[in-house]
Amino acid sequence: MLTRHPSSVITKLESNLSEATFIQYNCARITAIINRYNSDFTTYKTEDDIDLSLLTHDLEWTLIFYHFPNYYSLLSSLNNFIVNKSTFNLNQIVLFLKQLVTDISVFYKKVKVLTEPCLHLLPLINARIYLCELILNILSNSLDLLGLKTVKYL
């Protein structure tokens, strides 16, 4: 059984509106970066050869090696709940989201995702945009598990 009723998780989110707003703000921020890339860099877009080895900043790898496995662990726990009728604490999703957006916020401040569209920088920009798309998918799916929609604009 669920260890918390879904409405209690939503109430907890609503009671701490600043955290919910911070999560949604980060969704909107990533969406804005991706939209700007899609409008300003369309002639340079090369999705076929995304090279994640070009990501060199520690924060990029923190997102990949810390948060991505945590997300899959969360999904595994949820799957175990569904298949085996075990317990699942919905607050795990909220805590995961809070940790993820905290690191995303630091990532924005320290790593410039979009730079000038110089040919030698485009492979790195493409890799960073791909990372942003993966993060947005994780955020959107996690919010969807809570019955919440992703905010695209603030």
- 61-94 pLDDT, tens digit per residue, is 999 999 999 999 998 888 888 888 777 778 889 8
Which residue range forms the structural domain that includes residue 127? 6-145
Encode 7-76 in three state secondary structure. Answer: HHHHHHHHHCHHHHHHHHHHHHHHHHHHHHHHHHCHHHCCCCCCCHHHCCCHHHHHHHHHHHHHHHHHHH
Is 150 part of any domain?
no
Is 106 part of any domain?
yes
CATH number of the domain within which 84 lies: 1.10.730.10
Global pTM reads 0.81
Q: Round to the nearest angstrom and report the end-to-end CA distance of the chain.
A: 36
Contact 110, 57 (CB under 8 A): yes
Number of domains in the chain: 1
Is 1 part of any domain?
no
Report how far residue 102's alpha carbon sits from residue 124's, in angstroms, rounded to the nearest whole number: 23
- State pLDDT tens for residues 118-128: 778 888 999 99
